[in-house]
Amino acid sequence: MKKLLTLLTVILFSTGAFAQIEAHVKWSYAAKKVNAKEAIVFLKATIDEGWHVYSQNVKEGGPVKTSFVFTPSKEYTLVGKPSEPKGITRNEKVFGMDVTFFETSAIFQQKIKLNGKAATVKGSLEFMTCNDTKCLPPEQVSFSIPVK
């Protein structure tokens, strides 16, 4: 009986070790000063082949749109809203509507006004990843981007 219990315990834990969380998007960040008082923050999604990430401009009732929350700071002020590249728009039957999404990569940009010589732009982003057969639950990622 003791051997059977040990065997079941080993099987249970080894099965859990092989379970992996699917991650098909990698985020990277950069910033570039335009002049002494302005900069652009870049948030880049690198997307695995066969997968896509949705635009910030998805209508109600569709997939979870990509969104950004910037932590308020005395170091900088946001100028406008984040911009995004031109995406692919098509009707997705599962949502019953036209949606815009990105494949391979997408670079989102946020212009900021600097209140000093440097700043650290912090915040979080939320996105949803889908392929032709399934969607993964939305993910939230925190970021911290130095602007020098």
**Domain boundaries along the sequence of the chain:** 24-147
Q: Profile the chain (148 residues) by mean pLDDT over runs of 10 residues.
A: 38 41 94 97 98 96 96 97 97 91 98 96 97 94 97
CA-to-CA distance for 129 and 39, rounded, in angstroms? 29
Cα 18-21-25 angle, rounded to 5 deg: 135
Total residues found in the chain within this entry: 148
**Chain CA centroid to CA 141, Å:** 6
What six digits make up the tokens of 125? 């982003």
Q: Which CATH architecture has domain 24-147?
A: Sandwich (2.60)
What is the residue type of 76?
Y
CA-to-CA distance for 148 and 138, rounded, in angstroms? 32
Total-model pTM: 0.85
Q: How high is the pLDDT of residue 21?
A: 76
Q: Are 106 and 27 in contact (CB under 8 A)?
A: no
CA-to-CA distance for 77 and 70, rounded, in angstroms? 10
